[in-house]
A and B are shown apart, each in its own frame.
Chain A
Amino acid sequence: MTEFDWTQLLDYALMGMLLAVGIAIVRLRNLFAAVMLMGVYSLISAAWFVSLDAVDVAFTEAAVGAGISTVLMLAAMLLTAREAEPVKAIRHWAALIVVSVAGAALFYAVGDMPVYGDPNSPANSYVGMDYITSTPNEIAVPNVVTAVLASYRGFDTFGETVVIFAAGLGVMLLLGLNPGKKKGDEE
């Protein structure tokens, strides 16, 4: 057993905050507060990802989850009511059962997970190690994430870009970019 890793206390604190924010979102009926708390949830997740050394993921989470999603949810909320309708108690129980079963399955799977940072874990040992050892010689960019994303797995990222484009195309075709205006006076 090596020295006690004090940073894991930070992880526990962040996860506790995530749990508290999650329960608060479930219990809130005011949609504005719920949207804001979902932004807070994303921001805490981003902080947690930084603590786990996944800086690129944290960056995306902070920008997309806490920034853009919150704005889009606010824009959607302006179209509907400010308060959620009360839900029948029986539906709470159904949701609780689903969450408990899924949570129990996840806890059951924890035993099979490799230890955090284990160099022999499947994610680190095969192709991941190859990327880390060959990036300095083949790509020569310091950020391995960028090398994998844009060069080794460039074809996948191309697919992702096309997916994003298709999503935007769907929104443009279904909703249009100038809603609220008549067809005649567009542009």
Chain B
Amino acid sequence: MNPHLVLRVVSKLLIPLIVVFGLYVHFHGDYSPGGGFQAGVIVAAAVILYALIFGVDNAKRAVPTWFVKFLAAFGVLLYGGTGVATLLLGANFLDYDVLHPDLAHHSGQHIGIILVELGVLSTVFAVIMAIFYAFAGRAPDIPEGEW
């Protein structure tokens, strides 16, 4: 029986909210403070909270190491791929206007910003998880007396 019942219940309540807030920060980044970087950090914080309460092994089952490696590269590729897409559509690198024909509402800019921020989100999230896994896996579990 795990003695940290209060911590477990509270974090189980909080973790979904933290992830949703992270996604809100990402997708609302055009209108309010925030963006891909902050969102990536917040979502990573949710997973790290899970790892602290339920153990690194359980966290690695939820967010496997292969997924972390994949996301880190995927983010950079998504960002660069958006730039290459604009190149192929006949504009400059990362000139988002060509991504959508509706120039009056600048829909191309919105699509481009969300896409590159999504790239930032996944790279930042994955790199923070990678650093955490690399360090936390080395440390022994926190002894009971130090909680």
A interface list, Cβ under 8 A from B: 55-56, 58-60, 63-64, 67-68, 71-72, 75-76, 78-79, 138-143, 145-147, 149-151, 154-155, 157-158, 160-162, 164-165, 167-169, 171-172, 175-180, 187
Contact = CB atoms under 8 A, between A and B. Distances in A.
Nearest to A177: B65
Contact of B45 (A68, A76, A160, A171): A68
A68 B93 CA distance: 33
B106 A161 contact: no
Chain A to chain B: the 6 pairs with minimum beta-carbon distance, closest first: A168-B127, A78-B139, A175-B134, A55-B33, A154-B94, A141-B30
Majority SS of interface residues in chain A?
helix
Interface of B: 25, 29-38, 41-42, 44-45, 48, 52, 65-66, 68-69, 72-73, 75-76, 79-80, 83, 93-94, 96, 105-106, 109-110, 112-113, 116-117, 119-120, 123-124, 126-128, 130-140, 142
A158 B128 CA distance: 18
Contact of A59 (B33, B48, B109): B33
Contacts, number: 159
Given A154-B94, A164-B123, A167-B127, A75 B38 contact: no
Nearest to A56: B33
